[in-house]
Structure 1
Amino acid sequence: CWGLLKELDRNSKLNVPLLYLHRYLRLTPVFAALILFTVGFYQRIGDGPLWPVQQQFTTGNCEQYWWSALLYVQNYVNPNQLCIGHSWYLSVDMQLFLLSPLIIYP
């Protein structure tokens, strides 16, 4: 919200598609690397009696629903089986960012 208002102060018009593209390209590469790490290497970094349960809980959904995480729609596609549980926030944040120019732009 603050960034949009600052951009409106600098320019009288917003280039909304460019704002969306910039945010997607800023967030997605790091998130994709995290998903790749989770699916590929996470199972090899731990051990213990509860590790298989925890590992399956974290990585099992990423193997099937990685695409919904990278499109930031995982809270709609299958909300009970999230890829990296705490990443639901990124989906909600991106969706609110998509709506924010409609609310803020006069």
Structure 2
Amino acid sequence: MSKAEFIANVAEAGDMSNAEAKRVVELVFGEIENGLKRAKKDGKYTIGTFGTFTVSKRAARKGRNPRTGEEIKIKASKSLRFRPSSMLKEAAGC
């Protein structure tokens, strides 16, 4: 689903204009982003019955180029993960 489709669905479900729905969606996504920035210690941002966003760190490591077999260095990185709450899993039928 594209962001535009998501906004249209929110507008329809909330009986509001697309402009209002876009503002709401941007506010929610912005709050998740800001919450993750504020949660630098543990890297967790939990939204009640929705789920938990976490920032995981990957250490630098060695890898191999699949074409040449040459050893390469892979930089340390961070990735964002989401773990849904049990209520969200039930709602989705998982």
TM-score normalised by L of structure 1: 0.29
Give 1 or 2: higher strand fraction: 2
Larger Rg, first or second structure (1 or 2): 2
Give 1 or 2: higher helix fraction: 1
TM-score normalised by L of structure 2: 0.32
Task: Work out which structure has the larger RCO, using CA pairs closer than 8 Å and 6 or more positions apart in sequence.
Answer: 1
